[in-house]
Amino acid sequence: MLLRISALYLIVPFTVLTAQQVHPAGIPVDLSVPFVPPGVDAEGQRHLLYELHITNFGSAELSLARIEILDDRTSAVLASYDGEELKGLLARPGSSGLTDRRVIAGGLRAVAFLDLHGPPSSGLPMRLRHRVTFLPITPPNGPLQSIVEGARIRVPRDEVLALGAPLEGAGWVASHALSNSSSHRRSLLAIDGRARIAQRFAIDFTRIGEDGHVFRGDPAKNENWTPYGASVLAVADGRVVEIQDGIPENDPTAETKAVPITLTSVAGNYLILDLGDGRFALYAHLKPGSFAVRQGARVRRGQHLARLGNSGQSDAPHLHIHIMDAPSPLAAEGLPLAFERFDVEGHLPSLKVLVDGTGWRATDRKTPRRREMPVENAVLTFPERASQSPD
């Protein structure tokens, strides 16, 4: 076949064209991956968490049947999702009351929350692409079609910064930590003209006491909760770039918060630490009036910053921490975080055991973890600080 293009002659053998090139996919779908963070290790697995956006640019409904992640070089299928598993991966921004999130009406979008994981030793391919299968449709003047491929991405090779402990001692529950289904993972928010997930890798740390309980006595009093008032530590050397203080704390048993929850108050009293190289750490829901540093101050890893509290969008005393690519609690993309050292005491079967009177006690056996992120509901022991006053 001889093609004339701007006086250049290109010989393109017909045999090298794929079926998709001969019959370009007529399904009016846009596939995109807005952001790809680096992979992070957790309990013997390397996890790559990102989102595939699937937008229907046509007027007719499209029904998703399968999503596959492929090695872009070899075309090997690395992961495949269909049926109920596929349903569980999907969110439908702006839509409610859907009977099946796999059905995408004209002009609407589905977001697939993906977690490609495997042993760290096996590594991840340099590049990935995605194959999306729909129930077959017949585009105008085209053959019956059901498959669209695209959304090629490069897998970042950046090293995840190994952080110091944000807290110290035993009994720390990493609630809503690394998971593909936690509330943090799914918090896709459109702020300042762009949809992002600042909390993609966020962790809420609460604490179980030696008696196996997270509170004792009247739960309406914050001081009766085990984690309340704990010293919050700098996870790395850095500079304090933002502090918000003065927001009153919530009653853990009340239906309403101490202040109306807005984009300004949602994180409560918080501190943002600039870690360098475009990485920032958010510490949220802190105790009012407890800050030991000022905005602009330079701090050292392990330094006392403030005390754990219950302010903002918080149901009970805990520390919310996440790493992000901009100095904004929510208008940023969430980056993975790994701690240099911690021990795993065990895993909670559910957060319900913390509030229903069941309680939870660790066994004598602890599993050391190094340069990893804790998984959801793991119970951790962080190293004690060197002898220095927290105040």
Do 135 and 214 lie in one domain? The reply is no
Q: Which residues in the chain show pLDDT less than 50?
A: 1-23, 387-391
- Give CA separation, 350 vs 170, 216, 253, 334, 382, in Å: 19, 19, 20, 25, 21
pTM beyond 0.85: yes
Tokens representing residue 170 in the block? 């035993």
Examine the domain organization and report whether 178 and 242 are in the same domain.
yes
Residue with tokens 């007719």: 60
Pairing mode of beta strands 238-244, 269-276: antiparallel
Distance between CA atoms of residues 314 and 266, nearest Å: 8
Is 11 among the domain residues? Answer: no
49 and 97 in a single domain? The answer is: yes
Handedness of CA 213, 219, 222, 223 (dihedral sign): negative
> Do 166 and 131 share a structural domain?
no
Nearest to 205 by CA among 271, 299, 273, 283: 283
Residue 204 lies in a domain: yes
For residue 39, give the CATH number of its domain.
2.60.40.150
Is residue 53 situated within a structural domain? yes
Residue with tokens 């502090």: 243
CA-to-CA separations, 66 to 89, 90, 125, 130, in angstroms, rounded: 11, 12, 21, 10
Residue 24 has what pLDDT?
55
Residues 131 and 244 in one domain: no
Say how many residues make up the chain. 391
CA angle 215, 384, 161 (to 5 degrees): 100
- The answer to the question of residue 15 being in a domain is no
Domain end among 106, 137, 154:
154
Whether 296 and 213 share a structural domain: yes
Among 131, 154, 177, the domain-final residue is 154
Structure tokens at 263: 């984009």
Say whether both 352 and 260 belong to one domain: yes
Find the helix or strand (DSSP H, E) in which 20 lies. helix 19-22
- CA-CA-CA-CA torsion sign (137, 141, 142, 144): positive
Domain that holds residue 201: 162-382
Which of 154, 176, 205 is the last residue in one of the domains?
A: 154
Task: Determine, yes or no, domain membership for 10.
Answer: no
Type of residue at 11? I
C-alpha distance from residue 45 to each of 160, 166, 314, 348 (Å): 14, 23, 31, 19
Strand runs (DSSP E) across 26-94, as ranges? 29-32, 40-42, 45-56, 62-71, 77-82, 90-91
Residue 389 located in a structural domain: no
pLDDT for the residue 386: 62
Print the SS3 string covering 219-276: CCCHHHECCCCCEEECCCCEEEEEEECCCCECCCCCCCCCCCCCCCCCCCEEEEEEEE
- According to the model, what pLDDT value does residue 22 have? 46
196: domain CATH number is 2.70.70.10
Q: Do residues 125 and 215 share a domain? A: no
CA distance 293 to 333: 26
Do the Cβ atoms of 281 and 216 come closer than 8 Å? no
| Domain co-membership, 290 together with 357 | yes
Tell whether 219 and 177 lie within a shared domain: yes
Question: Could you tell me the CA-to-CA distances from 229 to 153, 221, 223, 326 in Å, in that order?
Answer: 44, 12, 8, 28
Domain contains 338:
yes
Q: Do both 278 and 184 map to the same domain? A: yes
Half-sphere exposure at residue 33, Cβ-oriented, CA atoms within 13 angstroms: 23
Cβ 309 vs Cβ 291: under 8 Å: no
Angle among Cα 47, 48, 51 to the nearest 5 degrees reads 135
Please, are residues 234 and 164 in contact by the beta-carbon 8 Å criterion?
Answer: yes
Co-location of 210 and 121 in the same domain? no
Residue 266 belongs to a domain? yes
Backbone phi, then psi, for 237, in 5-degree steps? -60, 145
pLDDT for residue 356: 87
How many domains is the chain built from? 2
Say what the pLDDT of residue 28 is: 92
